Chains A and B, each alone.
Chain A
Amino acid sequence: MSAPVLEAVSLEKRFGGVHAVAGVSFRVAAGEMLALIGPNGAGKSTCFNLVNGQLRADGGEVRLGGQSLAGLRPRAIWRLGVGRTFQITATFASMTVRENVQMALISHRRMLWSFLARATDQFRAEAEALLAQVGMAEQAGRPCGVLAYGDLKRLELAIALANDPKLLLMDEPTAGMAPKERTALMDLTRGIVRARGLACLFTEHDMDVVFGQADRIIVMNRGRLIAEGTADQVRNDPAVREVYLGSGATSGGH
């Protein structure tokens, strides 16, 4: 395997008495889609937030292209080339779709502190190209506040790509979408990840999406990694079957 884009080493996080993440390590390589799954409360979201800087780890380290992210805020991590989408979409409701992407581009190109230029004139073509990539070109001029949920998710993807990231973090990218939309969005994501050579880490509840799209899967339960491998390996892993199907499943098998 080539040098990893993202490397998490022995991550630790405690909330009071709860050991939410206990010694979790994983790597994501360029062009790879890594799914992080596990039952509710397994520590997926915590793990995710440790990577993007929303939470500070109690132990262990996150490295991006070999550089430690320890102590960096989300916005500094973004500057190093990490784009992200949120489980519950977070966009700028008072702006048009295009302006949302322009805003990310303005920040990326360090144009934020200019006071006299017109924001809507900045990086317009680039923003439209990004929107075209996610199939949102026709909606570029619409106010973001009126978009359907699936479209918001695609907009988030376009925003996440605006800083030309090395790593894409997607927290439950298809939550709240119809099944057909889910596959479409993840097909789209996979194409972009391949084409741009990004590393992509995502959490997901929909197992069709996970097993259909991920190159590799890591499984968490109660703060620990319990399995890692390809879809087939994980599907047949006894520990995973135990967690998801209960102990009866191993003997009964249905």
Chain B
Amino acid sequence: MDFVLIQFLTGLSNASALFLIASGLTVIFGVTRIVNFAHGSFYMLGAYLAWTIVRAFWDWGGREPYLFVLGVLAAAVVVGLIGVAMEMTLLRRIYRAPELFQLLATFGVVLMIQDATLAIWGPEDLPLPRPPWLRAFIDIAGSRFPRYDLILAIIGPVVLALLWLLFHRTRFGILVRAATQDREMVAALGVDQKKLFSGVFFLGSALAGLGGALVLPSQSANLQMDLSIIAEAFVVVVVGGMGSVTGAFLASLLIAEVQAFGIVLLPKITLVLVFLVMAAVLMVRPYGLLGKPQAHARAASGAVEPTLRPAPNILGLAGLAALLIAASAPFWAGAYAITVLIELAVFVLFAASLHLMMGPGGVVSFGHAAYFGLGAYGAALGLRYLALPMEAGLVAAPLFAGFFGVVFGVFVVRLSGVYLAMLTLAFAQIVWAATFQWVDVTGGDNGILGVWPSAWAADKSVYLWLALALCIGGTLLLRRFVFSPFGYGLRAARDSELRAEAIGLDTARLRLAAFAIAAAAAGLAGGVYAYAKGSVFPTYISIPKSVDALLMVLLGGVQTVTGPIVGAIAYHGLFVGILQATAYWRAALGLAIVVLVLAFPQGIAGFARDRWERARGLEAA
């Protein structure tokens, strides 16, 4: 019994921190509809700022508890102001852009904050010195339990109560709740949206900062805090129901307790557990525990996709020229350039496969790296257990990934919007955790080595040609699908589900087919990548890899068929270029993303297309 009680209390104290972050995220989403990737960064900043401010206060007035509290609150306020600054300088300009662009922009901010933190506080973990009153234990059922953790456990419910009062007893809070239900109506009633949004960002960011500051005494400030917490915070928000603070509270309790007991009872699958819970909840309740179906954004979304037109001849010629240049690289470029070109070919197919779902399918996957990784692992596992040669491995890769695409897709296509995106993320994390923790089969963190091409393709030049043939061939095939009756059916299902069903289209089956095809294509890209590198690792499936794919598609422009190709080349070019040029590549990349989002809200290819059509007086949709 003691063990149960202690684990339960540990779970409670973890739940509090989780709730602070998730409540901020959910409030921001509810009102502004922005999925704020930078929320984890605010949490991290809260910890670092508290480290600096609390120590400064202590140096001045002694290590008193009340100075700790003041320092923590000050850190939260500063983080809140940083959140407002981000809202006013960046997000305010792109509220009307497609929602994914906002996500992209906040991811740019994540990268910049990472490097800023590194520059200001350095790479080492920073623990807060702990005076005796922070180290105290109390006796609970014969076990020693940290007193600070017990205080943390109480803070969660207290904050929930304060938020409840704020939302039910103040004008600001009532407006926030009203805007969560129907933002356009609130605007129509004459409420100043700018002030409301800034206020919400202050509140949400300050809550994240408070969470970070409060975990400082038991953890220490470090540079991994941002991305490690954001995935969990998303899970909590989605499980609770997006926009629901009470839901976030219940979900943080659920998730934290599952973790607390999972670590002891099921240590082998700790990483999967949280995402399994989320997948299970979403299958039973597609909008989370306390969430409601999202009201259809009315005209405000306004982003009608343009009609498809065949690419102008000049674009085809440019593509052909680029392909020829790439294929002739062995005759004029060095080994490094060839390696980069192989990667480019792989990423073009990877991005194009995601685009099939995101563009024509209207289905945004946050976990597309899963299928890339499954393809790579399909080839590698085939080699390891069946001694498959490269030729068979490259067939196995898309089949393996496509199979899982069908299995996961069955659940995914039943949802929509952010929930759907989060379920794809959950499945990706499950795959990642399986490769990471199932060491006997996958080699865990050490990956699988020795995945080399067959003798005839061992030469880098030959492999480049093979990669170009498979990846560019695959990309062109996907492109062809977009223009086919199937592709049009997919766009029909996206444009108007009501009309699509009324003319006999099975929209769920269309989306499932697109999901499976996209997974198989990503799997082929992963297979080609595996043989190029000679090894596979769990990082192929990590969140940043999925974000890479999203960035490529969005940079290029989701509304054009050429977009993902341009985006993959631009992104990878940018990446390789920046990587070589500066130590602060994250900040530079983040800045580049933000600038591109502000300058080309339709992506590079979308922008070019607009110019092209305007110059020719074509009627746009």
Residues of A within 8 A of B (CB): 52, 73-75, 78-79, 84, 86, 90-96, 99, 102-104, 106-108, 111-120, 122, 142-146, 159, 162-163
Taking the closest CB of chain B, its distance from the CB of A119, in whole angstroms, is 4
Count: A-B pairs, CB below 8 Å: 115
Which of B2-10, B119-127, B387-395, B500-508 participates in binding chain A? B500-508
* Set of chain A residues within 8 Å of B504, measured between Cβ atoms: 75, 78-79, 107-108, 163
Complex formed: what's the CA distance from A236 to B621 in Å?
A: 49
Residue in contact with A103 in the complex, picked from B488, B498, B620, CB distance below 8 Å: B488
Select from chain B the residue with minimum beta-carbon distance to A106: B485
| B502 with A112: CB separation less than 8 A | no
Query: A75, A96, A112: which contacts B485 (Cβ < 8 A)?
Result: A112
B99 within 8 A of A: no
Q: Is the CB of A142 within 8 A of B485?
A: no
Interface contact B489-A106, CB-CB below 8 Å: yes
Residues of A near B480 (CB, < 8 A) are: 115-116
Given contacts A91-B496, A162-B503, contact A111 B485 (CB under 8 A): yes
Contact A107 B621 (CB under 8 A): no
Asked whether A159 lies within 8 Å of B503 as measured between CB atoms, the reply is yes
Q: Which residues of A contact B483 (CB under 8 A)?
A: 118-120
Alpha-carbon separation in the docked complex, A109 to B580 (Å): 56
List 11 additional A-B contacts (Cβ < 8 Å) besides A94-B307, A162-B503: A52-B502, A86-B499, A103-B492, A108-B503, A112-B489, A114-B484, A114-B485, A116-B484, A143-B306, A143-B307, A146-B619
Q: Is the CB of A90 within 8 A of B621?
A: no
- In the complex, residue of chain B having the shortest beta-carbon distance to the beta carbon of A52: B502
With contacts A112-B489, A114-B484, A115-B480 taken as known, whether A95 is within 8 angstroms of B501 at the C-beta atoms is no
Specify the chain A residue showing the minimal Cβ separation from B307.
A143
Known: A115-B484, A145-B621. A94 touches B495 (CB 8 A): yes
Residues of B within 8 A of A79 (CB): 504
Task: Give chain B residues whose Cβ lies under 8 Å from the Cβ of A74.
Answer: 501-502
Among B480, B481, B491, B495, residue most surrounded by chain A Cβ atoms (within 10 Å): B495
Tell whether B305 is near chain A: CB-to-CB under 8 Å.
yes
Decide yes or no whether B612 CB sits under 8 A from chain A: no
**A79, A112, A163: most-surrounded residue (chain B CB, <10 A):** A112
Instruction: Name the distance in Å between B234's Cβ and chain A's nearest Cβ.
Output: 29
| B304 at the A interface (CB under 8 A) | yes
Q: Are B485 and A119 in contact (CB under 8 A)?
A: yes
CB distance B619 to A95 under 8 Å?
Answer: no
Contacts of B506 in A (CB 8 A): 75
The 9 closest A-B pairs by CB, nearest first: A143-B621, A145-B621, A90-B499, A94-B305, A119-B488, A92-B495, A145-B304, A104-B503, A107-B504
Closest to B482 in A: A119
Q: Is B501's CB under 8 angstroms from A75's CB? A: yes
* B133 interfacial by beta-carbon distance below 8 Å: no
Per the CB 8 Å criterion, the residue count for chain B at the interface is 32
- Contact across chains for B496 and A103 when beta carbons are under 8 A apart: no
Smallest CB gap from A95: residue in B: B307
Q: CA–CA, A114 to B500, complex, Å?
A: 17
Chain A residue contacts of B510, Cβ below 8 A: 112
Known: A74-B501, A118-B483. A106 touches B488 (CB 8 A): yes
Q: Is B487 an interface residue (CB 8 A)?
A: yes
- B307, B494, B502, B619: the one contacting A99 at CB < 8 Å is B307
Report 12 cross-chain contacts, Cβ distance below 8 Å, ordered by A residue. A52-B502, A91-B496, A92-B495, A92-B500, A93-B304, A94-B495, A95-B308, A111-B485, A112-B510, A115-B486, A146-B621, A163-B503
A117 touches B498 (CB 8 A): no
Task: List, in ascending order, chain B residues with CB within 8 A of A146's CB.
Answer: 619, 621
> Chain A residues with Cβ under 8 A from B620's Cβ?
143
Q: Considering the chains assembled together, what is the distance between the CA atoms of A75 and B143 in angstroms?
A: 64
Would you give the shortest CB distance from A154 to chain B, in whole angstroms?
15
Smallest CB–CB gap between B487 and chain A, Å? 7
How many whole Å from B479's CB to the nearest CB in chain A?
A: 11
CA A107 to CA B489, docked complex, whole Å: 8
Report yes or no: B502 in contact with A84, Cβ–Cβ below 8 A: yes
**Cβ–Cβ < 8 Å partners of A106 in chain B:** 485, 488-489
| B484 close to A73 (CB less than 8 A) | no
The answer on a CB contact under 8 Å between B486 and A90 is no
Report which of B306, B308, B484, B505 forms a contact with A107, defined as CB distance below 8 A: B505
Report chain B residues within 8 Å CB of A91: 495-496, 499
Chain A residues, CB < 8 A from B304: 93-94, 145
Q: Which residues of B contact A96 (CB under 8 A)?
A: 307
Q: Judge whether B503 and A112 touch: CB under 8 Å.
A: no
In the complex, A188→B371 CA distance in Å?
52
For A93, the chain B residues whose CB sits under 8 A away are: 304-305, 495-496, 621
Chain B, residue nearest A169 (CB): B502
Contact status of A95 and B499, CB under 8 A, knowing A79-B504, A143-B619, A146-B619: no
Residues of A within 8 A of B498 (CB): 86, 90
Decide if B485 touches A92 in the complex (CB within 8 Å). Answer: no
Taken together as a complex, chains A and B put the C-alpha atoms of A93 and B362 apart, in Å, by: 13
Bound state CA distance, A18 and B133, in angstroms?
63
Q: Once the chains bind, are A117 and B619 in contact (CB under 8 Å)?
A: no
Shortest A95–chain B CB gap in Å is 6
Measured between beta carbons, the chain B residues less than 8 angstroms from A107 are 489, 503-505
Task: State in angstroms the CA–CA spacing of A102 and B491 once bound together.
Answer: 13
List B residues 202-221 near A (Cβ within 8 Å): none
Q: Which of B485, B486, B489, B492 has the most chain A CB within a 10 Å cutoff? A: B485
Pick the contact of B495 from A78, A95, A113 — CB < 8 Å?
Answer: A95
Q: Which residues from A are CB-within-8-Å of B495?
A: 91-95
- Contact pick for B491, options A86, A92, A122, CB 8 Å: A92
Q: List residues of chain B with CB within 8 A of the CB of A143.
A: 306-307, 619-621
Give a binary string over B453-487; 1 marks a CB under 8 Å from any A CB, 0 the rest.
Answer: 00000000000000000000000000011011111
Q: Provide the bound-state CA to CA distance between A163 and B505, in Å.
A: 13
Chain A residues whose C-beta falls within 8 Å of the C-beta of B487 in the assembled complex: 119
Q: Are B306 and A75 in contact (CB under 8 A)?
A: no
Give bound CA distance, A95 to B494, whole Å: 12
A102: which B residues are within 8 A, CB to CB? Answer: 488
Distance in angstroms between the alpha carbons of A119 and B483 in the assembled complex? 6
* Residue with the highest number of chain B CB atoms closer than 10 Å, among A79, A111, A145, A163: A145
Which of chain B's residues have a CB closer than 8 A to the CB of A86? 498-499, 502
Other-chain residue from B486, B489, B503 in contact with A78 (beta carbon distance below 8 A): B503
**CA separation between A120 and B491, bound complex, in Å?**
13
Q: Is the CB of A103 within 8 A of B503?
A: yes
Nearest-neighbour CB distance to chain B for A146, whole angstroms, equals: 6
Q: In the complex, which residue of chain A has the Cβ closest to the Cβ of B484?
A: A115
B488 and A144 contact, CB distance less than 8 A:
no
Q: Is the CB–CB distance between A103 and B502 below 8 Å?
A: no
Question: Closest CB-CB distance, A62 to chain B, in whole Å?
Answer: 16
